[in-house]
Structure 1
């Protein structure tokens, strides 16, 4: 099923204003950096805290855990919950920590769904490659799966790079002949690190955030010596049959839309159920912002997980 975002046809003032601000601040210059300049920019961004904000601690039960030298958080509602647990993999081009924007979005999910969420703080590139990151994600997922009372209701979810990693996790479960999650929710996933799709070029001029050059370099950092088209880093090239039902959110002003469309076509050919929601004029990871369109997307996620859609 595909939705083309008719309800988003009149772009909100908030979205327009946000894109104007990005343009005036020349935000794309960041992803035009390379080499030492890119590394310096990454180091500057990493000075921002990856801790959940204080206001989230006031609303939720938050615990920090450790596994093999890596950390993760568990978010739980204050009241008893029996709802579907979510395993959420955050984005950040594999080089950035989780942000306040992510935490605020996750707080909304817990509030709306009354569910627990596990958030891995996975090893980042360039210090680490997928050979460190993927085993941690898999082992933590299996630990959570084996300790939850609702194994059959587990949800895998992720945004951007985390969306790609979430899909690789689902493919790894299939490869190991393990049970799939109940559902997979992907928000603007990065499905092909190589970004070689010719359909990206016409979108890039409309994308106020992302530029291929810097992203390609970040992708190579994460892949290490492995080809960036290897399925372990670019799930677009992995087997797409036999996966759980997938819901994928994408904006048309996001360069990753080109590969999302390609993914949807291939997945459906291979028999996987994909509900593709493409929102007109929306930017990268638009569902986790606070636009009117973001609120619509949040409701769609909640309805999907509650079986109303």
Structure 2
């Protein structure tokens, strides 16, 4: 577990609640949530690392943006899935995160704009995730140089991608990096209730609404929607970062326990006194940069340099 939160983190707590909690208040339309998230992204002005190159592309028809550093030759690839409860979010909102991971892990980041619910319910997002990975392989990229990553719903999607890769018999990626992953759309973790008072960002009722929009007619324990209920054998090494105050705390802990029980290698890092996906405040919050440096070091340890 990390040390006590910094003074800067403590100072950010009220702005975080003020900025992000309205996006995840129950009963709001998806259109309003999307507008609010883009407004927050504009207000926070999270700094992108200097000498960052951004380029639009597609992988098997799935839109992505490449994020890389012009200061060095990228030697790895991170396939990154943004969060947003499967109903909001966009790759461009995570440029501050992806620019640092690209720089510190000497990687090109392929940030995926997968289809969102309710317009595109399950399994659209998981199909896009697998197509994006297949697209990397079709370009001749060595899977041993590829790492999957994602935050919140994007963390669940990164796991769904890894499961589909395994079940399709495709070459496996080197590792998976997860920030506060949403692994149980049934919201059965005890922290959904016990951490409600300390949660700064998410709302359980909103997550139920988002899960219903994403799942459609599928049950909440569908493995590719809720990786908590999947057969977890044969997954690549996992790094999971989570805050001890968030309602998805148990999604990380329970998943880590199940993955380890299935024979997997899991590094679980619990950070004290922060909030859901604090890594998104890269360049503003020292704990965000520290977490991303830890993730970059994990990527370098596990992914072969091309």
Fold equivalence (TM over 0.5): yes
Aligned to 2:177: 185
For 2:212 and 2:290, locate their aligned partners in 1 and report how far apart those are by CA, in whole Å.
35
Is the CA contact 1:156–1:185 (under 8 Å) kept in the aligned structure 2?
yes
Question: Would you say 1:284 and 2:276 are equivalent positions?
Answer: yes
| Matched length | 298
For 1:70 and 1:151, locate their aligned partners in 2 and report how far apart those are by CA, in whole Å.
19
Q: CA deviation at 1:126?
A: 0.8
Matches within 5 A, 1:215-230: 215-230=207-222
For 2:40 and 2:79, locate their aligned partners in 1 and report how far apart those are by CA, in whole Å.
21
For 1:221 and 1:18, locate their aligned partners in 2 and report how far apart those are by CA, in whole Å.
31
Is the CA contact 1:230–1:237 (under 8 Å) kept in the aligned structure 2?
yes
Is the CA contact 2:151–2:179 (under 8 Å) kept in the aligned structure 1?
yes
Q: CA deviation at 1:152?
A: 1.5
Q: CA deviation at 1:136?
A: 1.7
For 1:175 and 1:50, locate their aligned partners in 2 and report how far apart those are by CA, in whole Å.
37
Aligned to 2:120: 128
Question: Would you say 1:250 and 2:247 are equivalent positions?
Answer: no
Aligned to 2:21: 28
Aligned to 2:73: 81
Runs of at least 5 residues in structure 2 that lack an aligned partner in the other structure: none
Is the CA contact 2:55–2:67 (under 8 Å) kept in the aligned structure 1?
yes
Q: CA deviation at 1:104?
A: 0.8
Q: CA deviation at 1:269?
A: 1.0
Is the CA contact 2:105–2:297 (under 8 Å) kept in the aligned structure 1?
no
For 2:39 and 2:124, locate their aligned partners in 1 and report how far apart those are by CA, in whole Å.
23
- Pick one of 121, 125, 130 that aligns with 1:138: 130
CA distances 1:20-45 after superposition (whole Å, capped 9, x unpaired): 2345x3853543322xx333522533
Give 3-state SS (helix, strand or coil) of 2:29's partner.
helix
Is the CA contact 1:94–1:218 (under 8 Å) kept in the aligned structure 2?
yes
Aligned to 2:290: 296
Aligned to 2:36: 45
TM-score (norm 1): 0.87
Is the CA contact 1:250–1:284 (under 8 Å) kept in the aligned structure 2?
yes
139-148 vs 272-281, greater mean Cα deviation: 139-148
Is the CA contact 2:19–2:40 (under 8 Å) kept in the aligned structure 1?
no
- Pick one of 132, 139, 142 that aligns with 1:147: 139
Aligned to 1:275: 267
CA distances 1:169-205 after superposition (whole Å, capped 9, x unpaired): 0011111122221010001111011212233211111
For 2:62 and 2:296, locate their aligned partners in 1 and report how far apart those are by CA, in whole Å.
30
Change (3 A) 1:199 1:76: closer
- Pick one of 75, 85, 98 that aligns with 1:93: 85
Is the CA contact 1:161–1:190 (under 8 Å) kept in the aligned structure 2?
yes
For 2:115 and 2:41, locate their aligned partners in 1 and report how far apart those are by CA, in whole Å.
13
Q: CA deviation at 1:47?
A: 5.8
Aligned to 1:265: 257
Is the CA contact 2:60–2:131 (under 8 Å) kept in the aligned structure 1?
no
For 2:58 and 2:211, locate their aligned partners in 1 and report how far apart those are by CA, in whole Å.
26
CA distances 1:147-170 after superposition (whole Å, capped 9, x unpaired): 144332210011111000000100
Is the CA contact 1:45–1:96 (under 8 Å) kept in the aligned structure 2?
no
TM-score (norm 2): 0.88
For 1:50 and 1:137, locate their aligned partners in 2 and report how far apart those are by CA, in whole Å.
24
Is the CA contact 1:102–1:288 (under 8 Å) kept in the aligned structure 2?
yes
Runs of at least 5 residues in structure 1 that lack an aligned partner in the other structure: none
